[in-house]
């Protein structure tokens, strides 16, 4: 059974840093691209970042480029999102998703909440 389990969310002050993780199981992790998608409270979905299966290609939304870094450890079946220079507007539930054909996310984790507030 495919499972994605995010962790590492919390309450931060503006300007702070945080790393969230996504532990994957039930599939060959290195064979799949992965994405991070976030959802601010009461709002819609926003793609944040993506990474190829090998980790050789990384991609970012304009809103986080230069502040966030996506990475993966295929030996640990884990996806990461390092978030620096956090802003109030980064407050959201952060989901990881497995990417399949046509760029669709077929499995999603349950999310981890990141709150940025002074």
Partner 1 sequence: EIVLTQSPGTLSLSPGERATLSCRASPSFSSNYLAWYQQRPGQAPRLLIYGASSRASGIPDRFSGSGSGTDFTLTISRLEPEDFAVYYCQQYLTSPLMYTFGQGTKLEI
Give yes or no for residue 20 binding partner 1 (CB under 8 A): no
Query: 């290195």: which residue's tokens?
Result: 30
User: Which two three-digit tokens encode residue 94?
Assistant: 């952060």
Q: Exactly one of 41, 44, 56, 66 binds partner 1 (CB under 8 A); which one?
A: 44
CA–CA distances in Å: residue 14 to residues 68, 75, 107: 14, 33, 31
Nearest to 50 by CA among 81, 9, 75: 81
Give yes or no for residue 38 binding partner 1 (CB under 8 A): no
User: Least Å distance between CB 118 and partner 1?
Assistant: 27
Confirm if 47 and 63 have CB atoms less than 8 A apart. no
Give yes or no for residue 42 binding partner 1 (CB under 8 A): no
**Which of 7-15, 20-28, 45-53, 68-76 is the region at the interface with partner 1 (rule: CB under 8 A)?**
45-53
User: Which two three-digit tokens encode residue 26?
Assistant: 């039930």
In the complex with partner 1, the residue whose CB is nearer, 18 or 99, is: 99
Burial of 88 (0-12, 13-18, 19+ CB in 10 A): exposed
The binding track of 77-96 with respect to partner 1, each residue x by CB under 8 A or -, is ------------------x-
Give yes or no for residue 102 binding partner 1 (CB under 8 A): yes
Q: Binding residues for partner 1, per CB under 8 A?
A: 35, 37, 44-47, 50, 57, 59, 61, 95, 97, 100-106, 108-111
């Amino acid at each position: 059974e495919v499972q994605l389990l995010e962790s590492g969310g919390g309450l931060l002050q503006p300007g702070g840093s945080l790393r969230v993780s996504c532990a994957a199981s039930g599939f060959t992790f290195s064979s799949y691209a992965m994405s991070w998608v976030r959802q601010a409270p009461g709002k819609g979905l926003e793609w944040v970042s993506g990474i190829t299966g090998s980790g050789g290609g990384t991609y970012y939304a304009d809103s986080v480029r230069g502040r966030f870094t996506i990475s993966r450890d295929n030996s640990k079946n884990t996806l990461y999102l390092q978030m620096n220079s956090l802003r109030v507007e980064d407050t959201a539930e952060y989901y990881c998703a497995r990417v399949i054909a046509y760029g669709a996310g077929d499995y999603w984790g349950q999310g981890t909440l990141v709150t940025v507030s002074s």
